[in-house]
Amino acid sequence: MSLRVAVVGCGTVGSQVVRLLTTQVEDLSARVGDRLELVGVADLNREAVIAQGVDPALVTDDAADLVTRADIVVELIGGAEPARRFMLAAMASGASVVTANKALLAADGPTLYDAAAAAGVDLYYEAAVAGAIPVVRVVREGMHGDQVKRVLGIVNGTTNYVLDTMASSDLDLERAVKDAQRLGYAEADPTADVEGHDAAAKAALLASMAFHSRVCLADVSCEGIGGVTADDVAWAARTGHVVKLLAVAERLDAGISVRVHPALVPLTHPLASVRGALNAVFIEAEHAGPIMLYGQGAGGEPTASAVVSDVVSAARNRVTGGQGPRESAYANVPVLPPEAAVSRFQVRMDVADRTGVLAKISAALADADVSIESVRQNPSPGPRGLAHLVITTHGATEAARVATIAALERLDVVDTVVSVLRVEGDML
Amino acid sequence: MSLRVAVVGCGTVGSQVVRLLTTQVEDLSARVGDRLELVGVADLNREAVIAQGVDPALVTDDAADLVTRADIVVELIGGAEPARRFMLAAMASGASVVTANKALLAADGPTLYDAAAAAGVDLYYEAAVAGAIPVVRVVREGMHGDQVKRVLGIVNGTTNYVLDTMASSDLDLERAVKDAQRLGYAEADPTADVEGHDAAAKAALLASMAFHSRVCLADVSCEGIGGVTADDVAWAARTGHVVKLLAVAERLDAGISVRVHPALVPLTHPLASVRGALNAVFIEAEHAGPIMLYGQGAGGEPTASAVVSDVVSAARNRVTGGQGPRESAYANVPVLPPEAAVSRFQVRMDVADRTGVLAKISAALADADVSIESVRQNPSPGPRGLAHLVITTHGATEAARVATIAALERLDVVDTVVSVLRVEGDML
């Protein structure tokens, strides 16, 4: 008896998965303890798959049929339908499922988790978060002797590449995105990356795993990097920071805060040194202290490595009679509204260049109950005789921050609030 | 029915494990899906354990009896005997075992792996390598869709603290060790850390897991940091490196090279930024690319977190009928002798300060078939009119390096070979 593996969806990642399952079959079978057999590859474009060199006898365009003939189904179509339908059909006919489908898991994970539990099969999704980095395995299975307090992730390689390029080459956002597109780090339509939607889906999955709760994409407050200017990036460096798009999942007393936004990260923080299109996840746990995982978060081959690792885990469970992790949402902690999140923030503004200005501004912050950590004043480069004021605050709720900015904008001494960025990465 | 957990050995880590199993019992039981029950704590010093606040009814000095009354036995005595005897007895009576005992696993792992397989029980040992960092889980279970090519680890916090202090405070080794002792980062007798024995045991475990082979402590060639001078550390910085004690496990064509030695790591390498007593493991895999894991490698609480995580894994397997990973040594790749290892190296020497010296030295390297990557010459600070020459080579076997140094020492133009350090961290 061998273990039948079916691959549904044969694009960039799928074709690499098929290649690994074919060329590494001896080694993988040794790890499983039984023979892995690729029984079929389903794709609507049969010709393209055959042109990649896949045995034509294995290639079908009938995924609905294929998924009922396998012990392990690898879903790599992406998106909601028909991916969900095929996964549910696979589980209903007793197959374990391996997927990289972060969008579907973030939007409608519970349907899939419940179906897997009901069918008594495994659902693995290492490749859905940060590609080759085994963050799902670590957060889902490795931290369960501990309480995770916060997860900070650089989980979108495109935006990290763009921000890193802005910092190192002094480019504005638009030109850095073009650069990323030219080098293949950004899609022709970069919206999902730049606006943070991709990172938000991963944030939902990280929060669900870290806090044993069910957090959906709709629970994640999301702000992309569209508003980050070359000036923001330059001022970040001047104040000892670097701008990163962070996925934040945080356990507060009242519940969970899950959000994606650009943030100033202190240069001394390990996440600050994550360059280019790399990904990293920084996990702060009650007893283990901080742990960081770092590596390639995308790309066909790294992602395929994570998928095949899941196939081996699912196959080993078949052989040993074991069971992969289940999404037990026993903690069921409420997800807090965005206003509840607490961050330090840095506000840059052009102000009148005369005495008494700082007193008025300090009073406005004090009125909003926001405490100032540091102030830096520079002559503003413009012709209007203004000063450029950079204020970094202590922790404040998002509500207090919004109120503060509104109050500052009403002050006659404030010409323009140029930029407001959260500061993240203080050690808990 | 609850799952009975016994803790054998209640020192720094054990007492934290007992505390977590007691205070977190509700949460841990929820993760397991069944009730975890601490049924006993064995320690020769009963009074000390009771003084820590452990329920006296649970404390015994009869470990041999206790291990037969549990479903999961946590072994935290350390060393060979009686730890091995208690673990074997526990497995023989059907208990799964969780241990942090790197010394015993590295010296005699196969006896324990085989006993676990024969008894059909689990053997987990996350805490044996790099404390709270889930490197065992990742290498043992997370990379099995891939081929690991090399593992580079900073796995001894004491020596990393000492080397970091030497670099940042310009201290010599002896004073940096004293500093580490004063702060609790080094033992009163720092031999096992300074001479690399602790790192060598972890290197053996990393190599066994990464290459699905049985690598024992005796297979690891080991050189500690005893010979690293303040001058070495200063020159490392001048040439764009930092000195680290590395555990290296590498897959070469002919077999496995496993070694521990101080090495120059380029400042651009992620391992170079691992400061203080932190640990990190850098894994290079065929398809996943490089992955780094980073965090606290020691300390009672972080280590206890890793142990309790293993307890939950072992307990979950009991509940679901599953099976943890087995140490399948199917690859059985031979371990190469130390002479086979290939590294770049940097040699510093005091040489006669006259023309023609570099020609003679270059000829000596060429004769040994070692190719020069860079040369740097400075006036030597001494009174004898010598020059200080720093040569960095391309990759050479250890045998070629030893022959080269002997040849250099025979040259009349070479006054002294001051230092020879390997350079590691080139990307594969």
Put simply, whether B301 touches A (Cβ < 8 Å) is: yes
Q: Do A287 and B302 touch (CB under 8 A)?
A: yes
**pLDDT on residue B383:** 67
Q: Do B288 and A296 touch (CB under 8 A)?
A: yes
CA pair distance B130, B413, nearest whole angstrom: 46
CA pair distance B98, B20, nearest whole angstrom: 15
Mutate to test the interface with A, among B146, B154, B296 (most CBs of A within 10 A): B146
Both structure tokens of A190: 């970069």
What's the whole-number mean pLDDT along residues B238-253?
Answer: 95
**pLDDT on residue B329:** 62
What's the whole-number mean pLDDT along residues B272-284?
Answer: 94
CA pair distance B390, B410, nearest whole angstrom: 18
For residue B354, how many other CB atoms are within 10 A of its CB?
A: 9
Which residue among B126, B294, B321 sits closest to A292, beta carbon to beta carbon? B294
Tell me: cis bond preceding B110? Omega within 30 of 0 counts: no
Q: State how far residue B134 is from chain A, nearest Cα, in angstroms.
A: 6
Q: How far apart are the first and last CA of chain B?
A: 51
Q: Do B317 and A313 touch (CB under 8 A)?
A: no
Which residue among B141, B292, B313 sits closest to A295, beta carbon to beta carbon? B292
Mutate to test the interface with B, among A148, A287, A319 (most CBs of B within 10 A): A287
Q: Give the pLDDT confidence of B23-68 residue by residue, as tens digits.
A: 999 989 988 989 999 999 999 999 999 999 999 999 999 999 999 9
CA pair distance B241, A228, nearest whole angstrom: 34
Q: State how far residue A158 is from chain B, nearest Cα, in angstroms.
A: 18
Residue pair A235/A377 in contact by the 8 Å Cβ criterion: no
Instruction: Report the candidate in A183, A148, A95 with the shortest Cα–Cα distance to residue A291.
Output: A148
Q: Is B229 helix (H, G, I), strand (E, B) or coil?
A: coil
Q: Do A31 and B323 touch (CB under 8 A)?
A: no
| pLDDT reading at B164 higher than 70 | yes
Q: Give the pLDDT confidence of B75-106 residue by residue, as tens digits.
A: 999 999 999 999 999 999 999 999 999 999 99
Mutate to test the interface with B, among A144, A273, A278, A293 (most CBs of B within 10 A): A144
**pLDDT on residue B150:** 97
Put simply, whether B305 touches A (Cβ < 8 Å) is: yes
Mutate to test the interface with A, among B19, B301, B309, B310 (most CBs of A within 10 A): B309
Question: Residue A212: which region, alpha, beta or left (left: phi > 0; alpha: psi -120 to 50)?
Answer: left
Residues from chain A that touch B291, judged by Cβ atoms under 8 A, are 132-134, 293-296
Q: State how far residue A114 is from chain B, nearest Cα, in angstroms.
A: 16
Both structure tokens of A334: 């409420």
The residue type at B117 = A
DSSP category for residue A58: G
Which residues 6+ apart lie within 8 Å of B92 measured at CB?
Answer: B115, B119
**pLDDT on residue B29:** 92
User: What percent of chain B is modeled with pLDDT above 90?
Assistant: 84
Residues from chain B that touch A289, judged by Cβ atoms under 8 A, are 132, 295-296, 299, 301-302
The catalytic residue positions of B are 202
ipTM: 0.90
Put simply, whether A329 touches B (Cβ < 8 Å) is: no
Q: Give the pLDDT confidence of B338-358 residue by residue, as tens digits.
A: 888 999 999 999 999 888 899
Q: Do A134 and B143 touch (CB under 8 A)?
A: yes
Residues from chain B that touch A305, judged by Cβ atoms under 8 A, are 145-146, 285-288
Work out the pLDDT band at B326, boundaries 50, 70, 90. Answer: confident
Query: Which of A126-140, B190-204, B367-381 shows the lowest mean pLDDT across its residues?
Result: B367-381
- Residue in chain A closest to B275 (alpha carbons) equals A270
Instruction: Report the candidate in A38, A70, A125, A153 with the shortest Cα–Cα distance to residue A309.
Output: A125
**Mean pLDDT per 10-residue interval, chain A, length 428 residues:** 94 94 92 93 94 94 96 96 97 97 94 94 95 92 88 96 95 95 91 96 96 92 96 94 97 95 94 93 94 91 94 92 76 86 94 91 94 87 82 94 95 95 86
Work out the pLDDT band at B260, boundaries 50, 70, 90. Answer: very high
Place of tokens 């897997």: A116
Q: How many CA atoms lie within 13 A of B54 on its CB side?
A: 28
CA pair distance B246, B41, nearest whole angstrom: 36
User: What percent of chain B is modeled with pLDDT above 70?
Assistant: 98
Q: Do A304 and B294 touch (CB under 8 A)?
A: no
Put simply, whether B184 touches A (Cβ < 8 Å) is: no
Q: Do B328 and A141 touch (CB under 8 A)?
A: no
Residues from chain B that touch A38, judged by Cβ atoms under 8 A, are none
